Amino acid sequence: MEKIAKRIFSDYLRFDKELIIILLLVTITAIIFFFVSNQRAFLNFFYLPVLLGAYFYGKRYAALAAIFSIILVGIVAYTYPETFVLKSKGKLYRWLDIGTWGGFMLVTAYLMGHLYEKKEQTSREIKRTYQGIVEMLSLIIDAVDQQTQSHSYRVSVIAERLARQVGCSPDEVENIRIAALLHDLGKIGVSKEILVKVGRLSEDEREHMKTHTKNAVGILEPVGGKVLELLPLILNHHESYDGSGYNAMIGDNIPIGARIIAVADVYDALTSDRPYRKALAPSQARTEITTNSGIQFDPYVVKAFEFVFPELESDSHLFALKLGL
């Protein structure tokens, strides 16, 4: 009940904020309108708050901006008829002129707002499709490398928390989460014998394994669009902060998302059973990561990891996924 109340209050504040912005734009336009000598010519400037309201908030706010604009212009024309440039043509003509302008204003508000809402609906459908494809690809990753089932999902959860902790924007957080979900997609092109091998990999096998980051880019690049933002994160998630990684990138030249995924990836790998070793305790994995701060990992990201570590250590959901529950 408390959560519902908070949500309603939050929605009310959001509505209030948007409405205030629209009304302020209309008010500023009305003030300028009052002081110009040719009000008839300046009437078209009232389309500005209407169009902005439609573009950012939809037809409801556009209609409110139009109605408020019409009321303000009507008040000015009624109270100060001598300031209206068409006074010589009589009251009826003046009100017909304002009425025609107001009618076009309302039609514009509705049509532009309708287009905005159609665009938003299409955007939501594209996003749902995009997320569906991402989830499907993550399931393919699990099917390819059954030894690390649910690994990609757990890495995405950890990476999302780290991204929030280091102060990434919401868009960056979402890109990092999805890139983490798909970071092992390139293993589709890696030999199954290498993926399931129990002993140490030979030099040739290690080089073959390294191709999985480029394989992932090759799979995703033709998709284009927003997916292209994920590619640097996936390609460079095996880079080391000191430059000893796959592509020898160093320090802050490595995308922040890739540095975050690197920590999340290694932490989950260390705390998971593998064919060649048993899982480490979370505290042991933490020590391994902090010891390699400034060497394999970005010190700033490691600090964020230490901050969220208690939450990761006690997360029963992630623990259940490790056990396959």
Please check the confidence at residue 324 and state whether its pLDDT lies above 60: no
Which whole number is the average pLDDT over 286-292? 95
CATH number for region 130-322: 1.10.3210.10
Output the pLDDT for position 101.
Answer: 81
Average pLDDT, the chain: 80
Q: How confident is the model at residue 9 (pLDDT cuts 50, 70, 90)?
A: very low
Residue 16 has pLDDT above 80, yes or no: no
pLDDT of residue 123: 76
pLDDT digits (tens, 9 = 90+) for 224-281: 778 889 999 999 999 999 999 888 899 999 999 999 999 999 999 899 877 667 888 8
Sorted by where each begins, the domain ranges of the chain are 2-119, 130-322
Query: Does the pLDDT value for residue 30 go beyond 90?
Result: no
Q: Which residues does 87 contact at the CB level (< 8 Å), separation at least 6? A: 81, 94
Query: Max Cα separation, the chain?
Result: 96
70-126 tens-digit pLDDT: 888 788 777 776 655 544 456 666 777 778 888 888 888 888 888 888 878 877 777
C-alpha span between 263 and 291 (Å, rounded): 12
Within 8 A by CB and 6+ apart from 18, the residues are 56, 57, 61
Over 50: is that where the pLDDT of 12 sits? Answer: no
3-state secondary structure 37-63: CCHHHHHHHHHHHHHHHHHHHCHHHHH
Residues 6+ apart with CB under 8 A from 163: 172, 173, 176, 177, 257, 260
Q: In this predicted structure, what is the pLDDT of residue 156?
A: 92
Q: Give the residue-averaged pLDDT of 128-153.
A: 70
Say what the pTM is: 0.65
Query: What is residue 277's three-state secondary structure?
Result: strand
Q: What is the pLDDT of residue 8?
A: 44
**What does the chain come to in residues?**
325
